[in-house]
Structure 1
Amino acid sequence: MGQATWSTIDKFFDERLTALESVGITRDRLILDPGLGYFLGSTPEPSLTVLANLRSLKTHYGLPILISPSRKSFLRTLTGTDLERIGPATLAAELHAASQGADYIRTHDPAALSDALTVFQAIENRPHSDGLSGAGPYCVTTT
């Protein structure tokens, strides 16, 4: 896909969804995985753009979102961290994805993500000063 931009990502999914629907595969059988890392480009920017726009992607296509930032190269490039120490960066990306409405998060460390989501959800479900509460339930899948 090269150095992806938001318009190329959008075009990519429009084409794929049209092709699937043309052979009778309905949207209720689909999960959207926007991909991260080298699939999108050689720098962190396209992956960061996808993560920053997950809620828009989900709203635009009306499909559940699967995201898998776990141990991806863009995180290592961004932080300068090696694979053995990439856990905190992975967890930050996973928590952001959850906060943006990702329905499924594929991870290498389900226990850490589960604990982090438990704390995150406990905080989000507390009343906010504006009278609203936050996020809903999250699903953790393993690699």
Structure 2
Amino acid sequence: MSIEEQANAVKNMLLAEIDKSKNIVFDGLLNNNILNSIPESLFVNYFLPCFMGEPKNSNWVMEWISIAGTPMAEVGVFKDGTNEILFSVPSILNTNNLFLHKQGGDIGDIFTRFDQINSNTPSRGLGFLIQALNSKNDELINNH
């Protein structure tokens, strides 16, 4: 085998490894169903009052995000002592509900937002587009 063939073989092997690693990371970012979780006692005694508008600490949102990992992540609440997940708290920032809050945007706005989401997370971009177009369709049908 010539040096050029060996170099090409190594190059192809490295490219395959990079592609494999990229797919593992990408899949982990988008399809990770593992929730960060906290004990029920911590949720009830500390965070629940915050969600009810009576925070004990003005920095509670940052603490919550540090537990969740991101503002778009849910947090599991588990039973003290058993680690059984009782329920999950929805994300504090749901980007799907930020756009067209009152369905006032036009089709161009929908596709602009789709491009923004799709460039970061393609699977969410497609989900947003389908949901937004269905909502816009319902709005048009109900208004005419």
Q: TM-score, normalised by structure 2?
A: 0.25
Q: TM-score, normalised by structure 1?
A: 0.26
RCO greater where, 1 or 2, for CA within 8 Å and sep 6 or more?
A: 1
Higher Rg of the two aligned structures:
2
Higher helix share: 2
